[in-house]
Amino acid sequence: MIIWLLTHSEELKKKTGTGKLVEEIMGSDCKVIIWSRVAPSPDIINLSPDNSLLIYPDNNADSPQSISNTLNIENIIVIDGTWQQARKMYNQSPYLKKFTHYEIKDIKSVYSKRRNQKTTGLCTAEVAIHLLNEYNHPLAPILQSRFTEFNQ
Percentage of residues of the chain with pLDDT beyond 70: 87
Query: What is the number of domains present in the chain?
Result: 1
Q: pLDDT at position 115, please?
A: 66
pLDDT-wise least confident of 53-57, 103-107, 122-126: 103-107
Specify the long-range contacts of residues 142-146, CB closer than 8 Å, at least 24 apart: 142/25, 143/21, 143/22, 143/25, 143/26, 146/21, 146/24, 146/25
The pLDDT tens digits for 47-93 are: 999 999 999 987 664 555 566 555 589 999 999 998 889 999 999 99
Q: What is the CA radius of gyration of the chain?
A: 14
- Position 40 pLDDT exceeds 80: yes
Q: List the domain range (segments joined by +) for residue 146.
A: 2-150
Q: pLDDT at position 64, please?
A: 58
Average pLDDT score over residue span 117-133: 85
**pTM assigned to the model:** 0.90
Task: Please spell the DSSP secondary structure of 101-113, one letter per residue.
Answer: EE---S------S
